[in-house]
Amino acid sequence: MRRRLLNIAAVFALLFALLAAQEARVQVAERDSISTHAGDPRHARGIAQRGELLDATGEPLAISRNGKRVYPAGSALAQIVGYSSLVYGEAGLEAAFDSVIAPTGRDQLSALGSFGRTDVAVSPPGSVVLTLRRDISAVVDGAMPQGVRGAAIVLDPRTGAILAMVDRPTFDPNDVDKAFSSLRARSDAPLLNRALDGLYPPGSTFKIVTASAALDHGAVDASDSFVDPGYFQIGPYSVHNDQNEVTGTQNVTGAFALSSNVDFAQIGIKLGADNFYYYLQRFHVGDVTGMAVPMTRDVVPPETSISDSELAQMSFGQGGLAVTPLRMALVAAAIANGGSMMRPTLVKEIRMPGRQTLLVPPAEWGRAVTADTAASVRDMMIAVVRYGTGTAAAIPGVTVAGKTGTGTHNGAPPDAWFVCFAPAQTPRLVVAVVIEDAGYGGAVSAPIARAIMQASLPLYPR
């Protein structure tokens, strides 16, 4: 009996030792990694001392005031700026730059972790200057309808700087603690950053990629003509235009401006799958961006699985393709920038106390197409707005280059797309808009993009 009691005592002693070792590992060995984890609510206890997130002009986007985190831009930039909460941790840029803007050493160590120390000296936080603009974001927020699901992006094609990123539906990050449970439960997902994480069939906006690839590779010439009798037969599969529209005989510009699926199915077949996928890589479709806040990867079917009928559909943005709104903004930006795609960025500079300010310069991501090809596609996009499917985006006194898109998917009305840049000859701004389940891009999203562009250009004159 005595031996049995001793054995039981030994087992309990061993279990206690293992528990103590585990506690010591968590408190000491892994303390730093746990305490700096962006989603750890404990790490948000330093909200009163948290550093600033500033817009490109120095206007505050996230500041600490009276012991509370305050978001002056409100719901306009809620998804991208994010939040820092005592209860729910951090999200968005608040999470991405937590290591910069959170004061370090603010927590008292536990008895097991301290080994005689009771606290740690607090290091002052840094601040981050973003490329976002509060004034342009307010314009976008005002132009985007309420009661819809979608996103709008404004960026500078010359630098890749993202100036605005507005989602619908949205929320007020100033009230996130009170509203979080209901926000998370909503079926329309207001916490989702649709600009970066929404995946949509791009519809005819993707004809920018197909036209660029076909012209750049030499599969077609801008003067080539195509016949659209209302259908294009590929084996047992037949391509049709929306509502069985017939555009007749058009050159490449006319086919682009009138958005003929039939013509672009023929162009895609002439280009071929190998070359089509080569230019997907040149436009970085499906690639990660390397931004501070990651973007969901586009869905691109494996090339080995592509039949001619699938290639025909992908050539006008259907089939198995699904992309983010930012991806189509970057595609338009490459054309606006003479064929050179700039890497997208949200950060202008990082300021740390006692250290030299870290400037984040623009970086070229690669050349998608030649300057001559980009100029030809730009002219096609101008034709879209002048006489094609995007006339609702026209701005008096400003030449706008754009492309409509109507992304069809099963079980719901199509997603309405519009991407554009202006002034067309010397572009300063790119705008991309998608509204879910809304119908035609030319009727729904083009007027929104027009309002954004018209009001934003005077705010961004350089």
Q: List per-residue pLDDT tens for the chain, 462 residues long.
A: 556 655 665 655 565 655 655 655 545 455 555 554 545 555 545 777 899 999 999 999 999 998 899 999 999 999 999 999 989 999 999 999 999 999 875 443 333 344 444 455 567 899 999 999 999 999 999 999 999 999 999 999 999 999 999 999 999 999 999 999 999 999 999 999 999 999 999 999 999 999 999 999 999 998 899 998 888 888 788 888 877 788 888 999 999 999 999 999 999 999 999 999 999 999 999 999 999 999 999 999 999 999 999 999 999 999 999 999 999 999 999 999 999 999 999 999 999 998 999 999 999 999 999 999 999 999 999 999 999 999 999 999 999 999 999 999 887 899 999 999 999 999 999 999 999 999 999 999 999 999 999 999 999 998
Q: Which pLDDT score, from 0 to 100, does residue 70 have? A: 97
Cβ-proximal residues to 389 (8 Å cutoff; 6+ apart), any chain = 204, 257, 258, 259, 404, 441, 442
Measured between alpha carbons, how far is 132 from 49 in angstroms, rounded to an integer?
Answer: 23
346: left (phi over 0), alpha (psi -120 to 50) or beta: alpha
Listed by start position, the domains of the chain span: 1-35, 150-169+188-346+364-459
In the chain, what are the helix, strand and coil shares in percent, each to the nearest 5? 45, 20, 35
For 248, phi then psi, to 5°, come to 75, -145
Alpha carbon distance 132, 347 (integer Å) = 8
Q: Which of 240, 6, 22 is nearest to 112 (CA)?
A: 22
The one catalytic residue among 64, 84, 204, 309: 204
Catalytic residue at 35? no
- Strands 364-367 and 358-359 come out as unpaired
Which is nearest to 109 in space by CA: 120, 98, 99?
A: 120
Helix H, strand E, coil C: the string for 330-350 is: HHHHHHHCCCEEECCECEEEE
Q: Are 94 and 62 contacting, i.e. CB atoms less than 8 angstroms apart? A: yes
- Cα(340)–Cα(455) distance, rounded to whole angstroms? 26
pLDDT score at 113 = 41
Q: Which fold has domain 150-169+188-346+364-459?
A: Beta-lactamase (3.40.710)
Q: What pLDDT is recorded for position 3? A: 64
pTM of the model as a whole:
0.88
**Is the distance from CB of 322 to CB of 200 less than 8 angstroms?**
yes
